[in-house]
Amino acid sequence: MSPKRLEDMYDAVIVGAGAAGLSAALGLLRSPEITDLKEQGIEPKILVVSKLQPLRSHTGSAEGGIAASLGNIESDDWHWHYYDTIKGGDWLVDQDAAKLLAEYAPETVINLERQGVAFSRTEDGHIAQRRFGGHTRDFGGEPVKRAAYAADRIGHQILHTLWQQCVAQGVEFAEEWYVTDLVLTEDHSRAAGIVALDTHTGKIQAIHARNVLIATGGAGRLFHTTSNSWDLTGDGMALALAAGLQLEDIEFVQFHPTGLAHTGILLSEAARAEGGILRNADGEAFMERYAPEHKDLAARDVVSRSIMAEIDAGRGVADPKDPDGPKDCVWLDMTGIDPKRMAQVLPQVVETIEQYANLDPTKDLVPIKPTAHYTMGGLPITTDGEVYRWNGTHHTVVDGLFAAGECSCVSVHGANRLGGNSLLDACLFGTRSGHTIAARIAENPVDSPMADDADDELLTSAVDQAAGVRAHELEELLQGSTIAEQSENGDATGENAYALMARLGSVMERALAVRCSADTIASALEQLNTRIKPAVEILHAHDKTAAFNQEVTAIWEVQHLTELAEAVLRASDARHESRGSMRRLDFPERDDEHFLAHSMVDKHGSVEFKPVVITDYPPKKREY
């Protein structure tokens, strides 16, 4: 689906159509301000641009639950959720943001239910809830059932519901358009719009907008083994870097403990919430040693490190598909779960194991290893979704630029995200961003007869200039196919975008997967800058056709990934401590004196640190 025509100017353009982008669109359109405008006969000009057809967005792969202190199964309190979120993030959490997350979580989930999300139910008809790692009662006490779920397909339910609601609201989509540029005014103080490739026609499009929201998801494709979709190439984060903005806490990448061996496919935390147990080669339920109280439902970073410790100690197992291969997995034992219960609440987990491992989880042990799963850092935003720049002492908001979801960092996840908090973050802060944009639109709507369009020419000129540059680059990429035809290997180096993505993923995995050190980081930077980047710079398409040329978008994706990889490595190198998902072998202890602060990295690799907002819970030792 593509727009019949592009408007000369939009009130707002939303980039990304997962839970965050769709929530922002709905929050905007349902706001009192926009309702008032419509009553006056003024229709807001809104466009949602998506790299994919929206129902293919990665939100649909979320399995286990969305966290909220509903108290439907056990007594719960949002203050406990608030504390757990801070502790889970190893105190690198801005507590003003975490407080909003926890306090408004029940409202967010209930609103999703009212829009049509088909949650699993208790016998008396309430939304069902299950345990998830790191969620407790009484400020770190016993585990509590806080994750609202829909079997193990909650993301699918939420994505479909939000999309249907957007269609009902008449939201206009530009589907399968690849955004190549985030355009700011010359002084970088204001958003001007975006540039995108319409993959159906192969045409570069200049999209002018007074407000832009980036909601492009994470960057799991930085790593070889990932639970993320093929399309999560960190585009929004890379666009921000290219536009001269910073990324916050980008060194913190969560590895989910239970990726199906050598596929990276996620086996939901729900499997352990329902009774699954991690075992080593000796059959020992080893999490009892690492997290004696919470065991297999400790925070994800704790479980992932424990798995790697078992493997490093020689107690790993080989993938049954490769019995003579490396012993770099452990077992997930689900045989203690009642088979009928398993089929009812874990259908996707069961299907995944059966189809991709040829195992029966009711009888067989399942090989798993940590898989790159979630990017805790991203574009720095306020609790109203405004993107800002940090100058060492204070932040300056970029006028008209917003972000939401995994590509952003409002810092509710800190150094490690708790399970169930990602969907909540996307829906809650996506909605808040939509409300903020709505208030801005109401002040000066494009379609108003009284609109002040004095600055529109400035915005239009900036976007048109960027589109011209990008169109010329596209032409050069396509002309390169002539060179490719003259080379036996396709190009002068024998490389292509897909092979380079794979090489980059392997380099990043060796450098940063679960643990790292100055040596592994330095080695990765050397390979990135001397081998991968030079190869990326000379990539070109092997076909002259612009329409539906996936190689062109793949080239831009690998460019984005290499730029983002350097930022991740630089930020990792600057943090001389172990915290949350980052385990530095050369700095094994948390260092609150020097690093209880958010990293802020730019495209040049310069890293500054910004204080954490601490209001209610001072840092203390993190134990499970």
**In contact, 150 and 120? CB cutoff 8 Å:** yes
- Sign of the dihedral through C-alpha 373, 376, 380, 384: positive
> Which amino acid type is present at position 474?
L
CA distances (Å), origin 258, targets 145, 293, 553: 20, 20, 31
399, burial (CB in 10 Å: exposed 0-12, middle 13-18, buried 19+): middle
Structure tokens at 46: 């809104």
CA distance 456 to 302: 50
**In contact, 364 and 279? CB cutoff 8 Å:** no
Catalytic residue among 153, 272, 300, 590: 300
How many residues would you count in the chain?
624
Give counts: helices (H), strands (E), the chain: 19, 23
Structure tokens at 413: 């996840």
SS3 524: helix
Beta pairing class for 395-403 and 247-248: unpaired
The DSSP secondary structure of 313-347, one letter per residue, reads TT--B--TTSTTS---BEEEE-TTS-HHHHHHH-H
Ramachandran category for residue 138: left, alpha or beta (phi over 0 → left; psi -120 to 50 → alpha): left
56 is catalytic: no
Q: Which residues of 553-591 are buried (b: 16+ CB within 10 A; e: fewer)?
A: bbbbbbbbbbbbbbbbbbbbbbbebbbbbbbbeebeebe
Nearest to 437 by CA among 121, 27, 19: 27
52, burial (CB in 10 Å: exposed 0-12, middle 13-18, buried 19+): middle
Angle at 552 between CA 546 and CA 556, to 5 degrees: 140
Beta pairing class for 515-516 and 277-279: unpaired
Q: Of all helices (H) and strands (E), which one includes residue 144?
A: strand 143-148
Please give the backbone phi and psi of residue 380, each rounded to the nearest 5 degrees, phi first.
-70, 130
β partners of residue 15: 49, 214
Give the catalytic positions in this structure.
300
